[in-house]
Amino acid sequence: MSYPPALARLIRLLTRLPGIGEKSAARLAFFILRGDDQYPVELASALSDLKRQTRYCSTCFSLTESDPCSICSDERRDKHCICVVEEASDLLAIERSHGYRGLYHVLQGAISPLDGRGPEQLRVRELIERLKDGGVQEVVLATNPSVEGEATAVYLARLIKPLGVKVSRIAHGIPVGGNLEYSDQATVGRAIDGRREM
């Protein structure tokens, strides 16, 4: 006695998703099985459309429906500055802050030798190409403050500086609304290192 094949197959496929174990997968599958008839149909169609209707901008490698993407083709953006992020989701986080008006470059990951991901697996070559025509004056490195993100930032800084382009790194410190007492040591250390005169 086991699950009917169609259910077992769905559970098996769902366990491939990150953070979904066998029990979670079974719970999701039962939820879908018991839920309204339209939901699995819609979900199946969204999955089929996903790769077909989503592509990467050939300039900045962000996710887009049209190429070049809406940011790269926006004449009001500052073409002298490129902000380098790991993922398109990071780009969206920066856009939501309304604090940046330049262009972007999405690396599609960070350097991580343990995962077999070196600069050649990322969009590093394409970034350097964009800097060669001389129009870009500053590159803002906005990779995450993780080991991989820092390594990637250091690597890129070394690569870009010789091209005569200013390289900066986003600030790390106590989050707005956070407090010193509950911040980890590394964050507090960064906040003190990065102090600014008032």
**Interacting residues with a second copy (CB under 8 A):** 1-7, 9-10, 13-14, 16-20, 24, 26-33, 37, 39-54, 63-65, 70-71, 87-89, 91-92, 95
Least distance in Å: CB of 101 to a second copy? 12
Q: Which is nearer to a second copy, 91 or 111 (CB)?
A: 91
Q: Which is nearer to a second copy, 86 or 160 (CB)?
A: 86
Q: Which is nearer to a second copy, 58 or 132 (CB)?
A: 58
Dihedral angle of Cα 73, 78, 81, 82, to the nearest 10 degrees = -30
Question: Parallel, antiparallel, or unpaired for β 78-85 and 166-169?
Answer: unpaired
* Helical residues (DSSP H) of 124-184, grouped into ranges: 124-131, 147-160
Query: In this structure, what token pair is assigned to residue 66?
Result: 């049209």
What's 175's DSSP letter? Answer: P
Q: Which is nearer to a second copy, 24 or 187 (CB)?
A: 24
Q: Which is nearer to a second copy, 47 or 176 (CB)?
A: 47
Which residues are within 8 A (CB) of 188 and not within 5 positions of it... i.e. 6 or more apart?
Answer: 174, 180
CA distance 32 to 159: 49
CA distance 56 to 128: 18
| Overall residue count recorded for the chain in this entry | 198
Residue found under tokens 């398109």: 88
Q: Which is nearer to a second copy, 27 or 190 (CB)?
A: 27
Least distance in Å: CB of 197 to a second copy? 34
Least distance in Å: CB of 1 to a second copy? 4
Least distance in Å: CB of 53 to a second copy? 4
What pairs with residue 85 in β-bridges?
106
Least distance in Å: CB of 60 to a second copy? 12
